[in-house]
């Protein structure tokens, strides 16, 4: 496992130094209830190893995240009967990341919950889409 970061709240939670409502744990990941929930059932799946976010997390740790999220989503579905669930994850300040230790959110959703996660489907400019695609593929 990666080194714990002494200033990181999620590392402290994993170490048991800060309490949490644990939903799930295995060798690579830990999951808990969020203490500032968007709505009932808001949970977090975090890697046990400290990594800032998706850009520098260990791919093997990331591979354990979605199966854990699936277990929690199934339990949330059975227990709370939401109308949907979003699994979302923030990287960097403009994306809304506030804790710099990899985590993904699990948001039970209701049609009228007002979450700002839904966007319309406006057709894009294909020339622009392709120009941006070429920029990304040049470094892939």
Q: Helix (H) and strand (E) counts for the chain?
A: 3, 5
105 tagged catalytic: no
On whether the CB atoms of residues 26 and 68 are closer than 8 A, the answer is: yes
Asked whether position 87 contacts Zn ion by CB under 5 A, the answer is no
Q: Is 117 in the site for ligand 5GP (CB under 6 A)?
A: no
Site pattern 76..105 for ligand 5GP (x: CB under 6 A): --------------x-----xxxx------
Question: Min. distance of Cβ 110 from ligand 5GP in angstroms?
Answer: 18
Query: Counting contacts by CB under 6 A, is residue 62 touching ligand 5GP?
Result: no
Give the list of residues 6+ apart from residue 75 with CB closer than 8 angstroms, or none.
23
Catalytic residue, candidates 42, 103, 105, 121: 103
Cα–Cα distance measured from residue 48 to residue 26, given in angstroms and rounded to the nearest whole number? 9
Shortest Å, Cβ 8 to Zn ion:
3
Considering only residues 3 through 22, tell me which ones interact with ligand 5GP, judged by CB under 6 A.
9, 18, 20
* Contact region with Zn ion (CB under 5 A), list: 25-33, 42-50, 76-84, 125-133: 42-50
Q: Which does 35 bind (CB under 5 to 8 A by kind): ligand 5GP, Zn ion, none?
A: ligand 5GP
Q: Give Cα 140 distance to the centre of its chain.
A: 23
Residue 62 vs residues 43, 59, 125, 140: alpha-carbon distances, Å: 17, 5, 33, 19
Say whether residue 99 binds Zn ion (CB under 5 A): no
Residue 60's closest CA among 42, 73, 48? 48
Catalytic residues, by residue number, are: 103
């Amino acid at each position: 496992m990666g080194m714990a970061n002494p200033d990181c709240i999620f590392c402290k939670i994993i170490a048991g130094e800060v309490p949490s409502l644990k939903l799930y744990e295995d060798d690579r990941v830990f999951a808990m209830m969020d203490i500032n929930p968007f709505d009932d059932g808001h949970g977090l799946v975090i890697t046990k190893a400290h990594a800032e976010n998706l850009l520098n997390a260990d791919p093997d740790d990331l591979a354990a995240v979605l199966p854990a999220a699936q277990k929690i989503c199934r339990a949330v579905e059975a227990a709370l009967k939401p109308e949907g669930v979003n699994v979302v994850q923030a990287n960097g300040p403009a994306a809304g990341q506030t804790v710099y230790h990899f985590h993904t959110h699990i948001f039970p959703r209701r049609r009228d919950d007002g979450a700002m996660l839904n966007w319309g489907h406006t057709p894009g400019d294909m020339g622009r889409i392709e120009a941006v695609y070429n920029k990304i593929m040049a470094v892939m």
